[in-house]
């Protein structure tokens, strides 16, 4: 690695997940060993994974990442929401790599450059990424199951339909013939009693299972359900479909009350996969 690389340091290690490499690997392995996915047919094009602290959503995330064991991709494209700042458009990290306790993950420079050529709504920056956790928490799981890989970190400052459509189309064109994996980072409903959260989250699950990005966006705009990464889910759903995916599989759902026992104000978590079945 060049000493002149611009590297984003971890922002939530020691808070959302363990900052000790050994402990982090042990925790992820434990979650992966507990995840019992059905044998799915087809080629995996994309996944949905939550982005809370691992103690809350790690097992749900593991159901998605377990599907990646033994696989290789030319590039992983991560799409997440911005929790820290609002901006009109999409930000791709301007540096060379993200770092976690498990090491550095390098940016796929060619695909990043191609994305920047596709839409004026896409720009490079570092500020949107500096303290944002929605992408960072996905990386240790990816590092554990894929080993070394290249990625493109994308933060959505807004989740308007027009932006979602443009980003999905840009991803498809930039991907070309490369073998890419799409990852949407999203939690579901926030801070409702568990019974209300379940009703809201079932609507998300139904829309994901229907695998219709336009219908999903309709419901998101109508506020029929809650998903802080609803835009990223719609982007990955639409792009995965254009890249050949034909069906969706919901892998796991829970909420924070299932972990803590406090059902008064919970957050929902979902793992799902988008598959090409010929």
Cα 181–240–52 angle (5° rounding)?
60
- The answer to the question of residue 195 being in a domain is yes
- The answer to the question of residue 245 being in a domain is yes
Q: What is the pTM of this model?
A: 0.96
- The answer to the question of residue 101 being in a domain is yes
Q: Strand pairing partners for 44?
A: 275
Q: How many domains does the chain have?
A: 1
Distances (CA, A) of 242 to 74, 165, 234: 18, 12, 12
- DSSP state, 124? E
Q: Strand pairing partners for 184?
A: 48, 79
For 8, how many CA atoms within 13 A lie in the half-sphere containing its CB? 28
- The answer to the question of residue 249 being in a domain is yes
Encode pLDDT of 103-136 as tens digits.
999 999 999 999 999 999 999 999 999 999 999 9
Which regions in the chain score pLDDT beneath 50? 1-2
Domain that holds residue 173: 42-276
Q: What is the CATH classification number for the domain harbouring 106?
A: 3.40.830.10
- The answer to the question of residue 90 being in a domain is yes
- The answer to the question of residue 20 being in a domain is no
Encode pLDDT of 28-52 as tens digits.
999 999 998 778 889 999 999 999 9
Q: Strand pairing partners for 77?
A: 152, 182
């Amino acid at each position: 690695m060049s000493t002149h690389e611009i590297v984003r340091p971890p922002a939530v290690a020691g808070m959302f997940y363990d900052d000790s490499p050994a402990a982090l690997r042990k925790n992820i392995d434990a979650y992966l060993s507990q995840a019992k996915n059905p044998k799915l047919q087809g080629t995996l094009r994309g996944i949905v994974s939550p982005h809370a602290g691992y103690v809350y959503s790690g097992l749900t995330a593991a159901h998605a990442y377990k599907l990646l064991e033994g696989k290789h991709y030319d590039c992983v494209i991560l799409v997440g929401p911005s929790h820290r700042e609002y901006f009109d458009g999409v930000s791709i990290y301007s540096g060379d790599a993200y770092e976690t306790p498990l090491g550095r993950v390098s940016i796929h420079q060619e695909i990043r450059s191609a994305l920047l050529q596709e839409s004026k709504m896409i720009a490079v920056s570092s500020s949107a990424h500096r303290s944002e956790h929605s992408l960072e928490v996905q990386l240790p799981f990816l590092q554990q199951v894929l080993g070394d890989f290249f990625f493109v970190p994308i933060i959505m400052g807004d989740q308007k339909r027009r932006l979602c459509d443009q980003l999905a189309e840009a991803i498809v064109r930039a991907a070309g013939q490369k073998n890419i994996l799409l990852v949407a980072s999203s939690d579901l409903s926030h801070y409702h009693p568990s019974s209300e959260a379940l009703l809201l989250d079932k609507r998300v699950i139904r829309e994901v299972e229907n695998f219709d990005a336009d219908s999903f966006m309709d419901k998101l705009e109508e506020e029929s359900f809650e998903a802080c990464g609803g835009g990223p889910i719609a982007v990955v759903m639409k792009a995965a479909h254009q890249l050949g995916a034909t069906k969706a599989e919901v892998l796991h759902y829970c909420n924070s009350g299932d972990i803590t026992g406090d059902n008064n104000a919970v957050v929902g978590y979902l793992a799902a996969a988008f598959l090409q079945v010929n």
